[in-house]
Amino acid sequence: MKPKSYRRGYPVAVLIGVEADHAALWQIFSQVAKPQQQIPLSERRDQKARYSFHEAIINALRPTLKEGVRSIIIASPPKTSFGQELQSHITAHHAWLTSGTNKATISLISGSASSPPQVAALTQKASFKELIAQNAAQETENLLELLERRLNENLVSFSLVEAENLVMDVQPPGKPQPDYLLLTNDYLSAIRQKNRVHCLMQVAQNKQVKTRVIDAESAAGARLTQLGGIVCLTKRS
């Protein structure tokens, strides 16, 4: 039996449903959508209140972004500019989200994402699934750049055993520390020791090691397959 935490699948994106008086944040996994937080807005016409509202959304995003999720989808009702306003705020005040190797891919979609039925309907739309695919493609390009750079710096460990040794054990100060755990969906589906891999992924996430399951058909996935299907990227402490 799989661990309960993995019935939801692996993290795919963050969905932000922006309404006139609040925002609802959701973590999108490969199997389910999980509610994260609701953030109220006292007065949309008040510029200071709107600024604080947008900042509260960004602060609520930070823990999920630290886990390695780099796909953000902003939903707002048709004929409103709520989503565009949040995106403009991010561009103006949070360059760390829009530039560099670890930048996020931010997309807009028309629709409400405030309640579970609304999110269920939205995530079934072809346009939403297309955004997920597009964002994943951009994210894997960024991860491929990071992987190649860490390979050149000799900061990549290969195989399940090496990843377990890095993630499960406490690394001494001064030694490279685990940063990313990357594996392909083909590796995850084919390996017989699924509970072992799921346990590693859960421990990695608990220790804030960014964990990503990558489509084996993507460029990054093909490179990972060449390296055995699973790698752990480290960083110097």
User: E strands, 32-176, where?
Assistant: 33-40, 71-76, 105-110, 156-158
Query: Which of 63-67, 169-173, 232-236 has the lowest average pLDDT?
Result: 63-67
3-state helix, strand, coil in the chain (%, to 5): 45, 25, 30
Residue of 178, 198, 189 lying closest to 225 (CA atoms): 189
- pLDDT score for 117: 96
- Widest distance between CA atoms in the chain: 56
| 117: its two tokens | 């039925």
Provide mean pLDDT across the span 129-143. Answer: 85
The tokens for 12 are 């795919």
Q: Which residues 6+ apart lie within 8 Å of 128 measured at CB? A: 73, 109, 111, 122
Mean pLDDT of 3-26: 82
pLDDT tens for 137-161 read 888 888 888 899 999 999 999 999 9
The model's pTM is: 0.77
Q: What is the pLDDT of residues 16-28, one digit of tens each?
A: 999 999 999 999 9
Residue 183: both structure tokens together: 């594996």
Q: Checking DSSP bridges between strand 105-110 and strand 71-76, what pairing results, if any?
A: parallel
Whether 123 has a pLDDT exceeding 80, the answer reads: yes
Contact between 198 and 2 under an 8 Å Cβ cutoff? The reply is yes
Q: Which residues pair with 11 in a beta bridge?
A: 29
38 or 102: which leads in pLDDT: 38
Instruction: Answer whether 176's CB lies under 8 Å from 236's CB.
Output: yes
Q: Is the pLDDT of residue 4 over 80?
A: no
- Per-residue pLDDT at 206 exceeds 80: yes
pLDDT for 5 beyond 50 = no
Predicted pLDDT at 64 = 86
Do the strands 11-18 and 22-29 form a parallel or antiparallel pair, or are they unpaired?
antiparallel
Q: Confidence class of residue 6 from pLDDT cuts 50, 70 and 90? A: very low
Tell me, what DSSP letter sits at residue 21? S
Kindly indicate the confidence band of residue 8, based on its pLDDT and cuts at 50, 70 and 90. Answer: low
Distance, in Å, from the CA atom of 160 to the CA atom of 230, rounded to the nearest integer, reads: 7
Q: Are 227 and 214 in contact (CB under 8 A)?
A: no
Would the pLDDT of 1 be above 50? no
**Full set of structural domains in the chain with CATH:** 4-139 (3.30.420.60), 153-235 (3.30.1330.30)
